[in-house]
């Protein structure tokens, strides 16, 4: 079943208001944000692993990227605590699980097939730089190529923020919140803007820490 599969439309989803759905693996549940139901299932989800749960070993033919929101995610490459951003490219293989349990925000099948770049980073250890021309915004770059730009951003309380969404944009709230086009986004809310749109937001009284991906919806 498709979920928010029309990429010409703006979408806002609040993770904490969505029901948990069972996955094929016992102890692992998910909240779907978007999905294209094809053989190569393009999907964006929030996934929760119960303590001591684990998926079978598998290859990510189309790649995956995820952020650890709670707990510790574990796989063949290491143990990844809260704040970790992991990028496993196409053809990567692992056995994911979590002894203490964890929650992650994850995207599948959204890579260039020839991409082979691994990234293991943590937003609490990365430095921040003020971004020129965007007052009140500090950024921690994660990945950039001709297809997309991915970074963590921190918005000062009350800051008016503009994001270049001419090629499409996604924003996932890690902490705090913001208002955009009449919607109040809070922790674990997700916003997707179509290519050709304009994204202007106002950070809430506590500011906002967000994950931002841009330019990746241009050719959909």
The domain ranges of the chain are: 11-122, 129-214
CA distance 58 to 145: 26
What string of pLDDT tens digits covers the 220 residues of the chain?
A: 899 999 999 999 999 999 999 998 899 999 999 999 877 789 999 999 999 998 888 888 889 999 999 999 999 999 999 999 999 999 999 999 999 999 999 999 998 889 999 999 999 999 999 998 999 999 999 999 999 999 999 999 999 999 999 999 999 999 999 999 999 999 999 999 999 999 999 999 999 999 999 999 997 7
Torsion over CA of 131, 112, 167 and 154, rounded to 10 degrees?
-30
Token digits of residue 160 = 């008016």
Domains 11-122 and 129-214 equal at CATH topology level: yes
pLDDT at 67: 98
Estimate to the nearest angstrom the gap between the alpha carbon of 56 and the chain centroid: 23
Domain 11-122 part of CATH 2.60.120.10: yes
- Residue 7 is predicted with a pLDDT of 95
- Characterise 71 by phi-psi region: left (phi > 0), alpha (psi -120 to 50), beta (else): left
What the block records as the tokens of 96 is 């994911």
Say what the pTM is.
0.96
pLDDT at position 88, please? 94
Q: Residue 208: its pLDDT value, please? A: 98
Residue 37's pLDDT is what? Answer: 83
Predicted pLDDT at 75:
93
Class of domain 129-214: mainly beta
In this structure, the chain runs to a length of: 220
By CB atoms closer than 10 A (0-12, 13-18, 19+), residue 56 is: exposed
Task: Give the pair of three-digit tokens for residue 27.
Answer: 């102890």
Which among 109, 156, 144 has a CA at the least distance from the CA of 214? 144
* Nearest-angstrom CA–CA distance, 105 and 25: 17
């Amino acid at each position: 079943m498709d979920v928010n599969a029309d990429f010409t439309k703006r979408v806002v989803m609040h993770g904490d208001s969505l029901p948990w759905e069972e996955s094929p693996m016992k102890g692992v549940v998910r909240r779907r944000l978007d999905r294209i139901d094809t053989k190569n299932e393009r999907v964006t989800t929030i996934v929760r692993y119960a303590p001591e749960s684990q998926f079978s070993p598998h290859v990510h033919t189309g790649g995956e990227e995820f952020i650890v929101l709670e707990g510790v995610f574990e796989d063949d490459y290491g143990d990844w605590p809260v704040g970790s951003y992991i990028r496993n490219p196409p053809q990567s293989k692992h056995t994911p699980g979590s002894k203490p349990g964890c929650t992650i925000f994850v995207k599948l099948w959204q890579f260039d097939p020839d991409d082979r770049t691994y990234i293991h980073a943590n937003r609490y250890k990365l430095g921040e730089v003020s971004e020129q021309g965007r007052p009140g915004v500090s950024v921690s770059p994660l990945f950039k190529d001709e297809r997309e730009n991915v970074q963590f951003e921190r918005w000062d309380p009350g800051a008016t923020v503009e994001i270049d969404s001419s090629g499409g944009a996604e924003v996932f709230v890690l902490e705090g919140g913001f208002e955009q086009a009449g919607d109040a986004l809070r922790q674990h809310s997700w916003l997707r803007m179509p290519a050709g749109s304009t994204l202007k937001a106002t950070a809430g009284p506590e500011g906002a820490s967000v994950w931002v991906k841009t330019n990746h919806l241009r050719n959909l």
